[in-house]
Amino acid sequence: MILPLPLPKNSPEKLFAYLVLLTEERISTLEKQAAKLKNMLKKTNMPLFPEKFLELPSSLVSQRWLSPPEKQQAEEQTENKSLHALELIFTAKVSNGTVEAAEVSWRAFLAESLENSAIDFYLRLQESNKPASPKKGLLADMDGTLVENETLNDLAHFVGKGDAVSKITRLAMDGKLDFKEALARRVRLLRNTPLQSFLQIESQLRYTPGVKKLFRFLKRKNIATALISGGFKPLTTAVQQELDIDFEFSNNFAIEKGHLTGELVAPIITPQEKKKIVTQFARSCHIDLAQLAYIGDGANDLLAISSVGLGVLYNPGTNLQHNCPHVLRHVKDLRALLYMQGITGFSATPSANNA
């Protein structure tokens, strides 16, 4: 959801477009694309989206690199790619329609301009020519977001039910099957799985690049965090403890004599429940919803994403990419969340013992 801003009375020229470009490609790729965008935005005869309130020309107000210099990144580099982030602030005129409509036009312009590049972007129109203040809380999905695994699929493969469970997972994540029904069907297939199996799956968890550095930074800054997952304990608890996340909300298997019964224990973390938890988290931490960030990768995250000030869809399926204004399609490093908020000054590259 794009939060509309009130138009400044008689002074639309005081609006600014805050833009962050992100890539894991060469830094020269980002520099060339930024120069191209700046030249395009200078033109007075740009025919692109005139009916949608994108008014040109727009002049560059400021530019700065949020990521450390490339030389420093090369010195720190491990097996992970470097993450480059460039912040640009432009003047932005809106004299017809709303700021919300203008943001839609700017995003359409940027999406078309960057279509053939491996560059993601974050954009918002604002009244200040300064970066927005960092959010005060972060909530995140687990499977496919904080970890690269789909842990229920991994468990199913381990006990020989992988193909059947993975098929149901794909349908649910793409929004083609009701989440609660899909979850119940997958859990039934895991009936009689021994609890000992979870130890094997935990040992195979692959943490998303940048995620450990992200949560260390948040902890240092006393920013509240929560894991909200449609996945299951004890795996969600293992991830919470590894990343030192403040709160954990996830599902529970019904267990009898050390084996799964094939049933779920209420309450179930549905998309609606995720949104409810976000609201409760904001209330208990005394944080306005607009000051929260949320990141997830599936259709079951969209309600939660739409309820906060910075909602990001991470590495989604193709049919979901247009359901959220802020999408990370190319960048697979969660430090991008910090750069999207104009945060800089932390080391660019993770330590060798994972991102």
SS (HEC) of the chain: CCCCCCCCCCCHHHCEEEEEEEECCCHHHHHHHHHHHHHHHHCCCCCCCHHHCCECCCCEEEEEECCCCHHHHHHHCCCCCCCEEEEEEEECECCCCCHHHHHHHHHHHHHHHCCCCCEEEEEEEECCCCCCCCCCEEEECCECCCECCCHHHHHHHHCCCHHHHHHHHHHHHCCCCCHHHHHHHHHHHCCCCECCHHHHHHHCCCECCCHHHHHHHHHHCCCEEEEEEEEECCHHHHHHHHHCCCEEEEEEEEEECCEEEEEEECCCCCHHHHHHHHHHHHHHHCCCHHHEEEEECCHHHHHHHCCCCEEEEECCCHHHCCCCCCEECCCCCCCHHHHHCCCCCCCCCCCCCCC
* % of the chain exceeding 90 in pLDDT: 63
Flag whether pLDDT at 7 surpasses 60. no
pLDDT value of position 353: 37
Bridge partners (DSSP) listed for residue 62: 89
Q: Which of 7-21, 55-69, 247-261, 288-302 has the lowest mean pLDDT?
A: 7-21
Which residue of the set 141, 154, 297, 333 is catalytic?
Answer: 141
Q: Quick check: is 301 catalytic?
A: no
Q: Quick check: is 120 catalytic?
A: no
Q: Give 107-118 pLDDT, tens digit per residue.
A: 888 998 898 999
Q: Give 181-215 pLDDT, tens digit per residue.
A: 889 999 999 999 999 999 999 999 999 999 999 99
Please give the model's pTM, rounded to 2 decimal places: 0.89
Please check whether residue 207 is in contact with residue 235, taking contact to mean a CB–CB distance below 8 angstroms.
no
All domains of the chain, ordered by start, with CATH? 12-126 (3.30.70.260), 137-149+206-340 (3.40.50.1000)
Q: How many CB atoms lie within 10 A of CB 227?
A: 23
Both tokens of 289, joined, read 């919803």
- Among residues 117, 187, 182, which one has the least CA distance to residue 159? 187
Q: Which of 55-69, 71-85, 293-307 has the lowest mean pLDDT?
A: 71-85
Please check whether residue 242 is in contact with residue 235, taking contact to mean a CB–CB distance below 8 angstroms.
no
pLDDT value of position 268: 94
Q: Could you give the CA distance from residue 314 to residue 121 in angstroms, rounded to a whole number?
A: 12
Which residue of the set 143, 154, 297, 301 is catalytic?
Answer: 143
Q: Could you give the CA distance from residue 301 to residue 272 in angstroms, rounded to a whole number?
A: 9
